[in-house]
Amino acid sequence: MREARIAWHELSAVYERLGETQAALDALRSAIAYDTRLRDKEALDRAARNEMRMELARAASEWSRLAEEDALTGLPNRRALGVWLAAAFLRVRRGEPIAILLLDIDHFKAINDTYGHLVGDVVLREVASLLRDGTRPSDLPSRFGGEEFVVALASTDIARALDIAARIHGEVARHTWTASAPGLAVTVSIGVAGSAEAADPEALLAVADRRLYAAKRAGRNLVIAAD
């Protein structure tokens, strides 16, 4: 199309030199029309390329979100927790404490067996909502897997983490579970660990896991923050 535009311009110049004013004017109009179509096409091409780039960026963002989000609860998943903890331990080495709560829904298999998996899914989503509402923007409530959740607490020592765990423990127990199924009651067991007790994220999770299982062995529906 660029070559056609140049040809019309050159033809207009030839007609003008020959004194063919009308023919020169017609050729010039054709050149201008080509110019307009060319600009329109280039603009459309740019718009299409920009739209494609934006779509690719949106798709990449969505894939990234899905890769770090639990599909059922909408909470960050274990991968996202790992990223959070890795970054947090850089701050830990500069003196900022962090803590985690490892929660397990008590007798979750019995809930599924008694009320069905759909109610079990509701319980998971409701617990996730309670964790989301009960934490700060700087914290990270996440689904660890199955009926287990981790709440990672920024700038929090073990004493403060124990207070938060006790509050969450009470909120879960007081929640109106019978709205989901008659007779339904839900409690959680929680293991609490602080960064002062661990050298890295894996060790911190191991401490919390040990205390969670201590709570379960002691009868469940408990919060344990010490060995």
pTM comes to 0.73
Closest CA to 102 of 193, 226, 200, 194: 193
Look up residue 82 and give its two tokens.
Answer: 């790992």
- Helical packing angle, 108-115 and 117-133, nearest 10°: 130
Q: pLDDT (tens digit, 9 = 90+) per residue, 22-75? A: 766 676 677 677 667 767 666 656 655 665 566 555 644 544 554 688 989 999
Task: Give 101's strand partners.
Answer: 151, 192
3-state secondary structure at position 129: helix
Kindly tell me if the per-residue pLDDT of 123 is higher than 70: yes
- For residue 85, the model assigns a pLDDT of 95
- How many Cβ atoms are within 10 Å of 11's Cβ, its own excluded? 17
How far is residue 217's CA from residue 209's CA, in Å, rounded to a whole number? 12
Q: What are the residue numbers of the active site?
A: 147
How far is residue 124's CA from residue 72's CA, in Å, rounded to a whole number? 8
- Indicate the fold that domain 78-224 takes in CATH: Alpha-Beta Plaits (3.30.70)
